[in-house]
Amino acid sequence: MNKTETELTYMDGNALLELKKECLKNNPNAKEVYKKLQEIVLMK
């Protein structure tokens, strides 16, 4: 079952938002971590 690009991007976006919230709570360097995660997801 194939997902469209839009569906994947949307799902990844939601996952990233959740990760960002968690990271910001626990990690003073969260913004850097988040940027790297975003780059990885967008390169897929």
Q: Higher confidence at residue 4 or residue 31? A: 31
Mean pLDDT of the 9-18 span: 70
Whole-number pLDDT of residue 1: 46
Question: Mean pLDDT across the stretch 30-37?
Answer: 78
27, 33 Cβ separation under 8 angstroms: yes
